[in-house]
Homo-oligomer: A and B are copies of this chain.
Amino acid sequence: MASGSFPVQADPTDPEAELEGSSTPRPAVGADAASLVARYVQVRDFTRQLAAPLSAEDCVVQSMPDASPTKWHLAHVTWFFETFVLKPQAQRGFDYRVFDPDFEYLFNSYYNSVGAQYPRGQRGLITRPDLATVLAYREHVDQALARLIEGEPVGQAVELAGLIELGLQHEQQHQELLLMDIKHALFQSPKLSAYAAQREPSGVALRSAAPSAALAYIDFGGGLASVGHDRRGFCFDNERPRHQVHLADFRLANRLVTNAEYLEFVAAGGYSEPLHWLSDGWARVQSAGWRAPSYWLQRDGAWFEYTLGGLVALDPAAPVCHVSYFEAEAFASWAGARLPTEFEWERAAEVSAQRGQADVAAGNFVESGRLHPGAAPLAAGPQQLFGDCWEWTSSSYAPYPGFRAAPGALGEYNGKFMVSQQVLRGGACVTSASHFRSSYRNFFYPHQRWMFSGIRLAR
């Protein structure tokens, strides 16, 4: 995600496939044309809805090299279907006319196998094609996809269905990136206005109704544990193969670190004391002038936070969000705790789900419409595991034992980012619930913080 579009892959070559009783990858939806079309329409429409509150001006700017313009996201995810579904089908005889040959270069993110790419840092300079043309491009591709799916006995075309599902999962990742990026862009205009007019800070939607639960630690037993995706439904290749790890006993916090708790760290001079920080982290604090999480502003002594609903008073009970790995690690160190490994997190999530104490469907995901993390419920068991904020882990992003990249362009995606980044788990309030599973691995560089990233402590 750090690079703008996830490395994704349906993993058709998995060596364990036969052992698991299935010789083909499975799309997330049933393999009939109607349901595939329905899911396609739903996902594609949702992207358009996300862009709807924005003006053409909002959609063109790029506020930093890590972010991309909304218009670029709208086009790139469409390019993905054109490049990896429609063009190969056209070579086999499907009637498809490329919308604009220049788009192959313009909207390729990083696929060297496909060809050269327009410079990433200059995506905000593409005023032509304009937004209307890009929306027409979407329409053009959508109509072709519909024709393709309906004309095809998909029961005999599982691979095609898998590719389409991959394109949809890819688009869901870009929906989250779109929200992250537009939040960053709107933050540059001094107006600090809300992403959507109807989302003006209401004091209701974003504020917690009650204080969050007290911080407590939940015990989890160690030993050999299986981690990674079990091949029930879709996953990316970086979640595979499922394999065993050995864990010591561990304890995990019952909820995310709150703004109130993080504020104590700030007030205690956390950003002035090198001893709390990783060496690279302290260098970053100084070079970037960090004094608080991203989007925090202090005015007349009071702290505010910029949200997609506009500027609001900092909610003490809500989870701290938009912190870098360096900040998460420094906070944990200051608090006498540590961050969990990605496997501790996954183990705890699976155990809690089995115990009925954690449920993806109940998480604060993008479907809730809040677009901001909220306070933890006063309930037993681990809270906020799913949704709200991505949780930094102490695990670096690395291939699982036996990982192999797929051949061809689609294999270019995941392996090539497996260095110098940290894994985050759990999804966020801007992630689709239908896109999430507990084996999901997100990854960012330790200094990045424009994603919705928070902290869960471990011991």
From known contacts A124-B124, A248-B401, A401-B248, infer whether A112 and B63 are also in contact, taking CB-CB under 8 Å: no
Chain B residues with CB under 8 Å of A299's CB are none
A77 interface contact, C-beta 8 A: no
Specify the main secondary structure of chain A where it touches its partner.
mixed
From known contacts A61-B61, A131-B57, A244-B246, infer whether A419 and B325 are also in contact, taking CB-CB under 8 Å: yes
The answer to whether A61 and B243 have CB atoms under 8 Å apart is: no
The answer to whether B248 and A402 have CB atoms under 8 Å apart is: yes
Kindly state the separation between the CA atoms of A130 and B186 in the bound complex, as whole angstroms: 12
- Against B, the Cβ 8 Å flags (1 = close, 0 = not) of A227-247 are 000000000000000011110
> Which of A209-217, A276-284, A376-384 faces chain B?
A276-284
Chain B residues with CB under 8 Å of A420's CB are 280, 420, 446
Of residues 95 to 131 in A, which have CB atoms within 8 Å of B's CB atoms? 102, 105-106, 110, 112-113, 118, 122, 124-131
From known contacts A246-B245, A398-B394, infer whether A55 and B130 are also in contact, taking CB-CB under 8 Å: yes
Residue of B nearest to A404 (CB): B338
Please state the number of chain copies in the assembly.
4
From known contacts A279-B3, A419-B280, infer whether A61 and B125 are also in contact, taking CB-CB under 8 Å: yes
Question: How many whole Å from A67's CB to the nearest CB in chain B?
Answer: 11
A263 interface contact, C-beta 8 A: no
Chain B residues with CB under 8 Å of A129's CB are 191
From known contacts A277-B416, A420-B446, A446-B419, infer whether A61 and B398 are also in contact, taking CB-CB under 8 Å: no
A135 interface contact, C-beta 8 A: no
Question: How many whole Å from A195's CB to the nearest CB in chain B?
Answer: 11
The answer to whether A61 and B416 have CB atoms under 8 Å apart is: no
Which of B71, B106, B278, B412 lies in contact with A416, CB distance below 8 A? B278
Size of interface on A: residues with Cβ below 8 Å to B: 66
Question: How many whole Å from A95's CB to the nearest CB in chain B?
Answer: 27
Question: How many whole Å from A292's CB to the nearest CB in chain B?
Answer: 20
Of residues 234 to 282 in A, which have CB atoms within 8 Å of B's CB atoms? 243-246, 248, 274-275, 277-282
Q: List 28 A-B contacts (CB under 8 A).
A: A56-B56, A56-B57, A57-B71, A57-B128, A57-B131, A60-B60, A102-B190, A102-B191, A106-B190, A110-B279, A112-B274, A125-B188, A126-B190, A128-B189, A224-B224, A224-B246, A245-B246, A246-B246, A248-B402, A275-B412, A277-B416, A278-B416, A278-B417, A280-B417, A280-B420, A395-B398, A396-B396, A420-B446
A-side residues, CB < 8 A to B, are 3, 55-61, 63, 71, 102, 105-106, 110, 112-113, 118, 122, 124-131, 185-186, 188-191, 193, 224, 243-246, 248, 274-275, 277-282, 325-326, 329, 394-396, 398-399, 401-402, 412, 415-420, 422, 446
Apart from the given pairs A3-B279, A246-B246, A248-B402, 4 other A-B contacts in the complex at a CB distance below 8 Å: A60-B61, A61-B125, A102-B191, A396-B396
In the complex, the 3 A-B pairs of residues with the closest C-beta atoms, listed nearest first:
A396-B396, A125-B188, A112-B274
